[in-house]
Structures are given as structure tokens and as C-alpha cells.
Amino acid sequence: MDFSLTKEQKDIKKAAAEFARGEFRPEVVLECELDHRFPREIYKKAGELGFIGLDYPEEVGGGGLGVMENVLVIEEFCKADSGMGMAIHLAYLPAKIVRIFGTPRQQQKFLAPLVRGDWVSAVSFTEPNHGSDLTRMETTLEEHEDGFVLNGTKVFTTNGGYADFFIVLAQEDPDAGPGKGMTTILVERDSSSWLGGKMEINEISGKMGLKMTSSSELVFHDLKIAKENILGERGRGLLNVLDFLDESRIEIGAQALGNCEGAFLKALSHAKERTQFQRPIIDFQGIGHKVARMWSRIQSLKWLNYYGAWLCDHSPERLSGVIPLFTSVVKHHVPETAKAIIDDSITVFGGYGYFLDQEVERRYRDNRIAEIYEGTVEVQLNNITRILKNLNPGFIDAELL
Ligand SMILES: Cc1cc2nc3c(=O)[nH]c(=O)nc-3n(C[C@H](O)[C@H](O)[C@H](O)COP(=O)(O)OP(=O)(O)OC[C@H]3O[C@@H](n4cnc5c(N)ncnc54)[C@H](O)[C@@H]3O)c2cc1C
């Protein structure tokens, strides 16, 4: 067993930390936060320096690496700043589904500009009546001689306001059973690619955190899309989404990991510097133990998150079937525990922790969504229960414990 990062991984982690320190300047962060602006210029620089698409094929300019390398970058970016780190990651994460299921032509068209930091991607699965339950879509996809026609409404699409393309999950066969008959299709923002109809994009305002991203409702009115934009096998749409979620949930875990590490670093230095009753507050056991517990929890989250990423990249045959078990563990446990850690950091800051300029209250708000999107905590616990119920106890005993 070797817990060390490779030389290349250490270099990536260091480079990501340096990039974030240099680019996420406090005045830019505050401006993006208060104006609800996506930091496109920083995203572009991240692309130019190779931080986007580390797991994408080299043929499209990607790094040809894995989920683990992505996790290291996301962790460092979110450690430096939750708002910036999450907004940048969420701009390229959706395109992962094109990496997994796209044809070489689709990968060249959609991933190459994304890797350069020129394009932003989005996924549109959620609908007003279908959030946790994606086993049926009300958005329909109908085959015509010269294209596919989309009708319906999606909600909460991250990056809706500026994404260059959307991966839409739609019901192609209305008579199929639950979870079946769905297809994923690539919808471009550029209306010149449409063969008819229209797409309306309406911003949804008033989010708790994640202020540097747009959240949108998409409405498709007989929107006709070229046949070449079908993504993956027709009728396998939900399975495509679930395969994507296995990796993406590990990366959402890394957002939460970086968020709580950043909060911890601030809390540690505050606890050493702030004096009350003529002593640094870290010397009061109530605060010292809080800092110690934050540290212990972070260690457990870090290694769990890295193990999840390692499984995605290297899973031996006998463990490949249990990847969803571990992605669900990471996706519920890391954000939930990170919330508790960030909450503790607010305690360490006292009244100052309640204000924007100490950053920890923003980390708390930003982190909260990691428990919700890409499958809520409750949905992850349902997955874990279902898998554990069906696994052979001997396999659990011998291989997983
Ligand atoms: C800021 C933000 C960004 C988002 N970005 C995207 C995006 O880019 N693309 C996209 O497609 N979607 C996106 N979403 C949608 C997100 O994935 C959904 O909100 C989430 O999956 C939950 O669905 P829902 O909101 O409809 O809640 P519901 O499904 O209505 O759930 C409500 C509550 O009931 C619980 N619940 C539901 N079913 C069960 C069950 N079987 N067992 C136990 N508890 C259950 C849930 O855990 C939750 O607590 C985003 C959401 C937000 C807020």
C-alpha cells in the first residue's frame, strides 16, 4: 500500500495551489461574489495552463490523466476560495459526460474549446417534477427525418446564463418503463446550430451561495437539433447520467474537501492570533479541541475522497461493481462533515465569522449545495443501503472491510 502522490501529482497540486493564490485575488473574488459574475477570464487562464480537462483525451488537448488529478486541482482551487473554485470546476465538470460517451467527432467539437478555457458546459437533467427521481423525464425527444425535436422545461441548470452547450436528458420513448427510454442530446447555445424552434433561458435569482454561477430554467419549444448531436446510445440516457455521476460525485466531494480545508486554515491562524483573557483562544480547551477535531475530520475526508478517486481510475475487476457504493459514501459524507467543520470555523471566529470578509460564512453557504446537487445526501444514503442489501456479506467482509 502506497499513500504517496506521484511526482506528477505533486507537481499538479503545487501548480494548482500557486495558480489559485496568484489569480483568486481578494478584490476580484469580492467583486465576482457581489456582482454574481462568473470569473471567465480566470477560467480562460486555467484552461491555458492545463487545469481544465486533465482527464480528457490528449487528442482534444486534455491531460490524458484521471479523476485523482482532477480531485487535486479542485481541492486546491476550493481551498483557496470556495466561490471561485466551485464556479471554475462546475464550468467544465458537465463536459465529462462527452468524454465518457462522445464520439471522437463530438469530443473534438465540444471538448477541445472547453479544454482551452473558451467554452463552458452544462447538464440539464432536473425538471420541475423530477429532481431526485430521474426515472422519468417530461421533456420529450422526438425523431424526425432531419433531426430530433425537444419540448419541455428544465430547472436549476448551472451555467445556464453563459454555457456554450448543454447535455439534456429527455424521454424519447414515452411508453418505456421507469428509468428506460431516455436519451442524452447535446444542445448548442449558438442558435445557428438549431434546425427549428427555440430555447428560452431564464435566470433563477436568489441563491444562498455559489454566487459566481448562473442557475437557469431552460424551456424548449419544438427545438430541432441535428441528429449528430445525440450523445451515447439512444434509450440509455439515464445510465449515461449514472455513469457520469460516479466520477462527478467524487469531484463534488473534492469541492467540499477543499472548502473545509480553507476554512480550517483560517480558523487555525485566527485561534493562534486572537487573544481573550490575555491568552490566545487556542489555549482554551473548548477552542483547542475544536481545532484538533477539525483536523482529524479533514484527514478522514481527504483519504476517503482520494480512495474514491483512485477506485475510479484503477478499480480492480473485483471492485469495479462497488464504485457507486464509494462514490455515494464520498458524496454524502464529505459535504456533510465539511459543513460541520466550516461551522466549527465560524465558532472559532466568534462574531467576526458571521460576516462576509472573514470568508467562512461564505464557505458555509457555498458548501451547502454540495449536499444537494448531483444527488442529495438522502439519495446517496438510499444508494448505499440498496447496494449493501444486495452485496454478498462474505464479499463485504473479505474485500470491503
Ligand atoms: C444551485 C443548484 C445547482 C444545480 N445544478 C444543477 C445542474 O446543473 N443540472 C441539473 O440537472 N440539476 C441541477 N440542480 C438540481 C439538483 O440536482 C436537485 O435540486 C436535486 O437533485 C434535488 O432535487 P429537487 O430539488 O427536485 O428535490 P426533491 O427531489 O423534491 O427532494 C426534496 C427532499 O426530499 C428528499 N427525497 C427525495 N426523494 C427521496 C427518497 N427517495 N428518499 C429520501 N429522501 C428523498 C431529498 O433528499 C430532499 O431533501 C441544481 C440545484 C441547485 C440548488
75 is catalytic: no
Number of other CB atoms surrounding residue 174 within 10 Å? 11
**Ligand 1 center–CA 323 separation, angstroms:** 22
- Within this chain, do residues 46 and 150 fall inside the same structural domain, yes or no? no
- Asked if residue 245 has its Cβ within 6 Å of ligand 1, the reply is no
Atom of ligand 1 nearest to the CA of 210: 1
Quick one: 250 and 379 in the same domain?
yes
Between the CA of 379 and the centroid of ligand 1 the distance, in Å, is 9
47: amino acid identity, one letter: G
Q: Is any ligand 1 atom within 6 A of the Cβ of residue 382? A: yes
Q: Residues 44, 102: contact at Cβ < 8 Å?
A: no
Q: Is 153 in the pocket of ligand 1 (CB under 6 A)?
A: no
Q: Do 231 and 186 meet the contact criterion of CB atoms below 8 Å apart?
A: yes
Phi-psi region of 362 (alpha: psi -120 to 50; beta: other; left: phi over 0): alpha
Domain identity same for 71 and 185: no
Residue 10, pLDDT above cutoff 90 = yes
Asked whether the predicted pLDDT for residue 190 surpasses 90, the reply is yes
| Stretch 187-213: mean pLDDT | 98
Shared domain for 272 and 368, answered yes or no, is: yes
Is residue 360 in some structural domain?
yes
Kindly state whether residue 1 falls inside one of the protein's structural domains: no
Q: Which pLDDT belongs to residue 262?
A: 98
End position of a domain, from candidates 183, 207, 235: 235
Res. 320: pLDDT tops 90? no
Assigned C-alpha cell, 175 = 411508453
Give pLDDT, residue 335.
98
Average pLDDT over residues 130-141: 98
My answer on whether 267 and 209 are in the same domain is: no
Final residue before a domain boundary, out of 119, 153, 177: 119
Tell me the whole-structure pTM to 2 decimals.
0.97
Query: Cα(133) to centroid of ligand 1, in Å?
Result: 8
Q: Is 232 left (phi over 0), alpha (psi -120 to 50) or beta?
A: left
- Of ligand 1's listed atoms, the one at least distance from the Cα of 94 is 8
Q: In CATH, what number is assigned to the domain containing residue 106?
A: 1.10.540.10
**Percent of the chain scoring above 90 in pLDDT:** 97
* Average pLDDT over every residue of 340-362: 96
* Same structural domain, 256 and 382: yes
Q: What letter represents residue 364's amino acid?
A: Y
Q: Do 192 and 272 sit in the same domain of this protein?
A: no
Q: Quick one: pLDDT band at residue 319, thresholds 50, 70, 90? A: confident
Domain at 200, CATH number: 2.40.110.10
Average pLDDT over residues 52-61: 96
Mutate to test the pocket of ligand 1, among 86, 126, 328, 371 (most ligand atoms within 8 A of CB): 126
Number of other residues whose CB lies within 10 A of the CB of residue 383: 21
Active-site residue among 75, 142, 374, 399?
374
Predicted pLDDT at 315: 85
164 inside domain? yes
Distance from Cα 305 to the centre of ligand 1, integer Å: 22
Is 64 a member of any domain? Answer: yes
Å from CA of 277 to ligand 1 middle: 46
For 249-285, how does the pLDDT look when each residue is reduced to its tens digit (9 = 90+)? 999 999 999 999 999 999 999 999 999 999 999 999 9
Q: Which atom of ligand 1 approaches the CA of 122 most closely?
A: 8
Tell whether 243 and 350 lie within a shared domain. yes
The tally of domains found in the chain comes to: 3
pLDDT of 317 > 90? The answer is no
- Tell me the residue range of the domain where 216 lies: 122-235
Same domain? For 218 and 242 the reply is no
pLDDT at res. 207: 97
Q: What are phi and psi of 363, to 5 degrees?
A: -60, -40
Mean pLDDT value across the chain: 97
CA-to-CA distance for 18 and 209, rounded, in angstroms?
25
Over residues 95-120, mean pLDDT: 98
Task: Find the 127 Cα to ligand 1 centroid distance in Å.
Answer: 10
Atom of ligand 1 nearest to the CA of 376: 47
With a CB cutoff of 8 Å and minimum separation 6, the contacts of 113 are 119, 164
Average the pLDDT over 290-314 and give the result.
97
SS3 per residue for the chain: CCCCCCHHHHHHHHHHHHHHHHHCCHHHHHHHHHHCCCCHHHHHHHHHCCCCCCCCCHHHCCCCCCHHHHHHHHHHHHHHCHHHHHHHHHHHHHHHHHHHHCCHHHHHHHHHHHHCCCCCEEEECCECCECCCCCCCCCEEEEECCEEEEEEEEEEEECCCCCCEEEEEEECCCCCCCCCCEEEEEEECCHHHCCEEEEEEEECCCCCCCCCCCEEEEEEEEEEECHHHEECCCCEHHHHHHHHHHHHHHHHHHHHHHHHHHHHHHHHHHHHHCEECCEEHHHCHHHHHHHHHHHHHHHHHHHHHHHHHHHHHHCCHHHHCCHHHHHHHHHHHHHHHHHHHHHHHHHHHHHHHHCHHHCHHHHHHHHHHHHCCCCCHHHHHHHHHHHHHHCCHHHHHHHHC
pLDDT at 234: 98
Specify the residue with its C-alpha closest to ligand 1, atom 29.
Answer: 132
- Give mean pLDDT, residues 14-43: 97
In tens, the pLDDT along 136-169 reads 999 999 999 999 999 999 999 999 999 999 999 9
Specify the ligand 1 atom closest to the Cα of 374: 17
- The answer on 107 and 77 residing in a single domain is yes
Cβ(165) – ligand 1 distance below 6 Å: no
Mean pLDDT of 233-238: 98
Q: pLDDT confidence of 238, banded at 50, 70, 90?
A: very high
Q: Name the percent of the chain lying above pLDDT 70.
A: 100
Q: At what angle do helices 82-92 and 67-80 cross, to 10 degrees?
A: 150
Alpha carbon separation from 343 to 263, 294, 336 (Å, rounded): 9, 10, 11
What pLDDT is recorded for position 316?
Answer: 81
